[in-house]
């Protein structure tokens, strides 16, 4: 029997805009088979909502705590929330 579907919302602060953070997060999430989205917020943070198997979500959380090479992640807040209907592939929201 497979893992139950879970969902997270994460807020990432630091130097995370203008460094391809959304692109690399979407790439990683799609590699992990996750659904959801990533977007820049007006305050300079990046917000992520992702859904899928708990082990894949934990892998994504580990990834966003480091970020891509040019990013400098200062803080990540992650909450586990109620899962939603399938939203298809993980995407970048503008």
Catalytic sites, residue numbers = 22, 40
Which neighbouring-strand residues pair with 40? 46
Are residues 75 and 60 in contact, defined by beta-carbon separation less than 8 angstroms?
no
Query: What's the token pair of residue 9?
Result: 């919302």
- d(CA 17, CA 32) in angstroms, rounded, equals 22
């Amino acid at each position: 029997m497979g893992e139950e579907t879970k969902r997270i919302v994460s807020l990432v602060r630091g130097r995370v805009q203008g460094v391809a953070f959304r692109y690399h997060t979407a790439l990683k999430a799609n590699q992990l088979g996750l659904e959801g989205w990533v977007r820049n917020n007006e305050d300079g943070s990046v917000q992520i909502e992702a859904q899928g198997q708990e082990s894949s979500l934990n892998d994504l959380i580990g990834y966003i705590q480091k970020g891509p090479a040019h990013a400098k992640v200062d803080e990540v807040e992650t909450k586990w929330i109620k899962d939603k209907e399938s939203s298809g592939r993980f995407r970048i929201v503008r």
